């Protein structure tokens, strides 16, 4: 962190605790090393309390809540969140999770036989499945660009996607931060490519809100989905689907309900009776995030993920596979022993690490090897990575 950054923190009286010292702001068990913020986030106590308060309010008079309070409260929550993401509130809707937002876009496509959806081999499994499903139903296909890995560079990513697009391509879908490999992809450059090639782009930014300095509108995509319930500390079940004004005509939620035909906001804001408290409590998540100093927090987490990965890789005699120029607050380190590069084998290693050592870290099978993907969030400190490093130290 720059000296200037520290001055700003002191002057504005921001929360300065971190590592073990801030663990009491979360519900996490005391004795564990939690190195997987990436999968499901970890909700601060004050954010769950705010969501609980909304739930209680709903129960005091459900009809009043759903018919009179909720519509305005939902839009107020969008208005609080949107500027944080570089977008206008009327251009975003809440969805339960990134998978659901990506499904809405994919299932709204009008594909024909022979058409293609272009993705990458680093895409998130659930979204790949959704793309395969809509493609199969139309006689179309998912084509996956193979990104060079390891040794990935932003230019090579753009070139690989360019090579996969042809006259049959109806959509490109890429992750902003890849799940199996923790790479931050050059989404603005990919968007520029897609515009040149005349193909719409869906960015799956599940990890980006809170991890990166995010300006969704500036990316230049057609649709963008993100999960405030990961790195922005929102209560679980809080995701965002942004659609550019030109990309809404045919866009519908996966659940079509009363709002059908009423336009983007009407269709997505009501998809049936549901618990919207994770959306409504988003201001509590934003307050918590702000209290940590957003720029300082992001820089700290990115630096700690890199440092943590170095600690682990040097103890194991293996490599950090996340190149510094494409890294966020997660990093991939190869395991120091041979194990089948299958999902089942990877799961078995994760289970062993957790049950024998109380260290939670995801194990990813990718590129013929298994790797751990370490995360860094405000409650982590170097000791957490040393604890993981010791398990297989050489």
Ligand X SMILES: Cc1ncc(COP(=O)(O)O)c(C=O)c1O
Q: Which residue has the tokens 């307050």?
A: 287
CB of 253 to ligand X, least distance (A): 15
Residue 225 near residue 98, CB atoms below 8 Å: yes
329 interacts with ligand X by CB under 6 A: no
Q: Residues 212 to 271: which contact ligand X by CB under 6 A?
A: 227, 239
Strand order in the sheet with 330-334: 330-334, 369-375, 363-366
Q: How far is it, in rounded angstroms, from Cα 331 to Cα 129?
A: 25
Residue 140 near residue 116, CB atoms below 8 Å: yes
Nearer to ligand X, 98 or 311 (CB): 98
Nearer to ligand X, 27 or 40 (CB): 40
Query: Among 4-12, 107-115, 120-128, 259-267, which window interacts with ligand X (CB under 6 A)?
Result: 120-128
Nearer to ligand X, 258 or 347 (CB): 347
Query: Among 59-67, 123-131, 183-191, 210-218, which window interacts with ligand X (CB under 6 A)?
Result: 123-131
Binding mask 169-208 for ligand X (x = CB under 6 A): ------x---x------------------------x-xx-
321 interacts with ligand X by CB under 6 A: no
CB of 30 to ligand X, least distance (A): 25
54 interacts with ligand X by CB under 6 A: no
33 interacts with ligand X by CB under 6 A: no
Nearer to ligand X, 18 or 254 (CB): 254
Going by C-beta distance under 8 Å and a sequence separation of 6 or more, which residues neighbour residue 117? 106, 109, 111, 131, 134, 135, 140, 141, 142, 143, 169, 170, 171, 172, 173
Nearer to ligand X, 95 or 286 (CB): 95
Q: How far is it, in rounded angstroms, from Cα 329 to Cα 208?
A: 10
CB of 174 to ligand X, least distance (A): 9
Q: How far is it, in rounded angstroms, from Cα 275 to Cα 289?
A: 23
- CA atoms 227, 232, 236, 240: torsion sign: negative
CB of 373 to ligand X, least distance (A): 10
CB of 96 to ligand X, least distance (A): 8
124 interacts with ligand X by CB under 6 A: yes
CB of 158 to ligand X, least distance (A): 18
Nearer to ligand X, 41 or 200 (CB): 41
In the structure encoding, which two tokens stand for residue 329, read together?
Answer: 């607050």
CB of 64 to ligand X, least distance (A): 30
Nearer to ligand X, 179 or 334 (CB): 179
20, 39, 67, 351: which one binds ligand X (CB under 6 A): 39
CB of 227 to ligand X, least distance (A): 5
Report residue 389: phi and psi, to 5°: -60, -40
Torsion of CA 140, 144, 145, 149, to 10 degrees: 180
3-class DSSP assignment, residue 377: coil
Give the Cα-Cα-Cα angle 126, 272, 235 (nearest 5 degrees): 60
The residue ranges of DSSP E strands in 58-135, in sequence order, are 92-95, 116-120
Q: Residues 89 to 108: which contact ligand X by CB under 6 A?
A: 97-99
343 interacts with ligand X by CB under 6 A: no
Nearer to ligand X, 149 or 316 (CB): 149
Q: Which residue has the tokens 């380190």?
A: 333
Size of the site for ligand X (CB under 6 A): 14
3-class DSSP assignment, residue 257: coil
Cα separations in angstroms, 226 against 58, 64, 67, 323, 324: 26, 30, 27, 23, 23
Nearer to ligand X, 330 or 349 (CB): 330
Query: Where along the sequence are the contacts to ligand X (CB under 6 A)?
Result: 39, 97-99, 124, 126-127, 175, 179, 204, 206-207, 227, 239
């Amino acid at each position: 962190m720059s000296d200037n950054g520290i001055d700003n923190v002191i002057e504005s009286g921001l929360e300065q605790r971190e590592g073990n010292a801030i663990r009491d702001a979360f519900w996490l068990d005391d004795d564990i090393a939690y190195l997987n913020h990436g999968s499901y986030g970890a909700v601060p106590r004050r954010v769950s309390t705010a969501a609980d308060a909304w739930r209680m309010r709903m129960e005091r008079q459900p009809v009043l809540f759903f018919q009179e309070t909720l519509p305005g409260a939902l839009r107020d929550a969008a208005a609080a969140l949107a500027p944080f993401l570089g977008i206008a509130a009327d251009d975003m809707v809440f969805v339960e999770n990134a998978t659901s937002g990506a499904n809405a876009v994919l299932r709204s496509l009008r594909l024909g036989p022979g058409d293609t959806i272009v993705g990458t081999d680093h895409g998130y499994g659930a979204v790949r499945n959704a793309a395969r499903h809509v493609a199969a139903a139309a006689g179309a296909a998912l084509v996956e660009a193979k990104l060079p890995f390891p040794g990935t560079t932003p230019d090579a990513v753009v070139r690989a996607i360019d090579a996969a697009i042809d006259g049959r391509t109806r959509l490109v879908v890429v992750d902003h931060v890849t799940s199996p490999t923790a790479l931050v992809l050059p989404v603005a450059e990919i968007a520029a490519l897609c515009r040149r090639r005349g193909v719409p782009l869906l960015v799956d930014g599940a990890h980006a809100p809170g991890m990166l300095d995010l300006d969704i509108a500036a990316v230049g995509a057609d649709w963008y989905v993100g999960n405030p319930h990961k790195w922005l500390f929102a209560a679980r079940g809080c995701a965002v689907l942004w659609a550019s004004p030109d990309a809404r005509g045919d866009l519908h939620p996966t659940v079509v309900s009363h709002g059908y035909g009423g336009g983007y906001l009407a269709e997505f804001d009501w998809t049936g009776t549901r618990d919207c408290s994770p959306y409504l409590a988003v201001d509590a998540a934003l307050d918590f995030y702000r209290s940590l100093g957003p720029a300082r927090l992001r820089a700290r987490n990115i630096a700690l993920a890199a440092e943590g990965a170095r600690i682990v890789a040097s103890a194991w005699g293996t490599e950090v596979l996340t190149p510094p120029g494409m890294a966020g607050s997660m990093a991939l380190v190869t395991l120091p022993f041979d194990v089948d590069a299958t999902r089942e084998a990877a799961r078995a290693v994760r289970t062993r690490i957790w049950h024998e050592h109380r260290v939670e870290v995801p194990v990813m099978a990718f590129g013929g090897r298994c790797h751990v993907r370490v995360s860094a969030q405000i409650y982590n400190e170097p000791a957490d990575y040393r604890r993981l490093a010791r398990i297989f130290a050489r």
